[in-house]
Amino acid sequence: MSNWLAETLAVFAKDWKSEARNLYALNTLALFAITTLVLVSVGLGPMGVDAAGAQVLPFLLWIVLLFATSAGLPRAFVQEEETHTATALRLAARPSAVFWGKLAFSLSLTWGLEILVAPLFLAMVQLDVAAPGQFIAALAAGGFGLAAASTVIAAIIAQARGRSTLFAVLSFPILIPLLLLVVELTRDAVGGFDSGAVLRQLLLYDGTVAVAGAMLFPAIWNP
Amino acid sequence: MTTSPVNTPAIEPAAKPAGWKTFLAWLLWGWLGLVIGAAFLWVPAQAAGFQNPVAYRILFFHVPTAWVSFLAFLAAGVWSVLYLARGRARRHDVAAAVAVELGLAYCVLATLTGSVWSRIEWGAFWNWDPRQTSIVIALVFYAAYLVLRGAIEDDHARGRLAAAYAVLGLAVAPFLYFVLPRMMPYSLHPEPVVNAEASIDMENRMLMVLLAGAVGFTALFFWMHNLALRSRLLAERLEEEAQL
Q: How far is A111 from A118, CA to CA, in rounded Å?
A: 10
Q: Does residue B17 or residue A165 have the better pLDDT?
A: A165
Supply φ then ψ for residue B194, to 5 degrees: -105, 105
Residue B86 within a domain: yes
Give the H/E segment covering residue B150. Answer: helix B130-150
Per-residue pLDDT tens over the stretch B134-171: 888 888 998 999 999 999 988 889 999 999 999 999 89
CA geometry: angle at A175 spanning A171 and A177, to 5°? 150
Statement: residue B92 has pLDDT above 90: yes
**Lowest-confidence segment of A27-41, A47-61, B102-116 by average pLDDT:** A47-61
Say how many domains are in chain A.
1
Chain B residue with minimum CA distance to A157: B148
Say how many domains are in chain B.
1
User: Where are the alpha helices (H) located in A125-195, listed in sequence order?
Assistant: 132-157, 163-191
Judge: A201–B178 Cβ closer than 8 Å, yes or no. Answer: yes
Chain A residue with minimum CA distance to B145: A170
Q: How far is B74 from chain A (nearest CA, A)?
A: 16
Residue of A70, A156, A175 best to disrupt the B interface, most CBs of B under 10 A: A156
Query: Is A95 within 8 Å of chain B by CB?
Result: no
Judge: B151–A160 Cβ closer than 8 Å, yes or no. Answer: yes
Q: Which domain holds residue A212?
A: 3-221
Judge: A160–B144 Cβ closer than 8 Å, yes or no. Answer: no
pTM: 0.86
pLDDT confidence tier of residue A21, bands split at 50, 70 and 90: confident
Per-residue pLDDT tens over the stretch A186-199: 988 888 887 888 89
Residue B44 within a domain: no
Q: How far is B179 from chain A (nearest CA, A)?
A: 7
Residue among A174, A156, A163, A139 at smallest CA distance from A64: A139
Judge: A170–B152 Cβ closer than 8 Å, yes or no. Answer: no
Q: Strands, E, within chain B: which ranges? A: none
Residue B229 within a domain: yes
Dihedral of the CA atoms A15, A17, A20, A21 (nearest 10)? -110
For residue A80, give Cα distances in angstroms to A74, A77, A102, A112, B20.
10, 5, 11, 22, 54
Residue of A99, A161, A174, A206 best to disrupt the B interface, most CBs of B under 10 A: A174
Residue B21 within a domain: no
Per-residue pLDDT at B12 = 56
Residue B193 within a domain: no
pLDDT confidence tier of residue B2, bands split at 50, 70 and 90: very low
Statement: residue A19 has pLDDT above 90: no
Looking at chain B, the whole-number percentage of residues with pLDDT higher than 90 is 32
Judge: B167–A212 Cβ closer than 8 Å, yes or no. Answer: yes
Residue among A159, A169, A180 whose CB faces B152 most closely: A159
Q: How far is B160 from B110, CA to CA, in rounded Å?
A: 30
Residue among B161, B172, B176 whose CB faces A156 most closely: B161
Cβ atoms of residues B129 and B190 within 8 Å: no
Per-residue pLDDT tens over the stretch B167-221: 999 898 888 777 776 666 666 666 554 444 444 556 777 788 888 888 999 999 9
Residue B233 within a domain: yes
pLDDT confidence tier of residue A83, bands split at 50, 70 and 90: confident
Residue B9 within a domain: no
Q: How far is A190 from A135, CA to CA, in rounded Å?
A: 7
Residue B8 within a domain: no
Chain B residue with minimum CA distance to A161: B151
Contacts of A141 in chain B (CB under 8 A): none
Name every residue whose Cβ is closer than 8 Å to that of residue B209 and which is 6 or more positions away in sequence: B35, B38, B39, B42, B43, B60
Q: Which domain holds residue B229?
A: 51-187+204-243
